[in-house]
Structure formats: structure tokens, C-alpha cells
Amino acid sequence: MRYYAGGAPIICPCCQYDRFDKDYRQLNTSGASFFGFDWANKSAAILVCQRCTHISWFMKDPLKET
């Protein structure tokens, strides 16, 4: 799948490929983890390059090409 961020197409910085798998990961903090509040941490979208598996992180959800 191809994605856009800030109006620009996303290209892998390692291999220059333009197709990614999207997923989400939690951004854990030591304070929240210590008190058992991991659920309160923010999440980030990640795009995994389908060619070289480089992972790019995004705080705002990248838009899927239509």
C-alpha cells in the first residue's frame, strides 16, 4: 500500500521503495509503566517497508493512497 504524510508520498529512506504495511505501536513511558498505566500512553503509526523492512514512525496517521 502507498501512503502520504503532509501531502507528500512516503518513500523508504533506505531502499527508495514506496509500498508499506501499516501498524500501530504504543509509546511506553517509564512513569506510566511503573504505575501500571501503560494503557494511558500515546500510540504511533508505523510503516514497515515491504522490500527492506525499515520501520518509519508517525505521530499522525499517514493517509492511504486512494
**pLDDT score for 27:** 78
C-alpha 59 chain-centroid distance: 7
* Every domain of the chain and the residues it spans: 3-64
The model's pLDDT over 16-51, given as tens digits with 9 standing for 90+, comes to 999 999 999 987 666 656 666 655 557 899 999 999
63 contact partners, CB below 8 Å, separation of at least 6: 3, 4, 5
Taking residues 2-6, what's their average pLDDT? 97
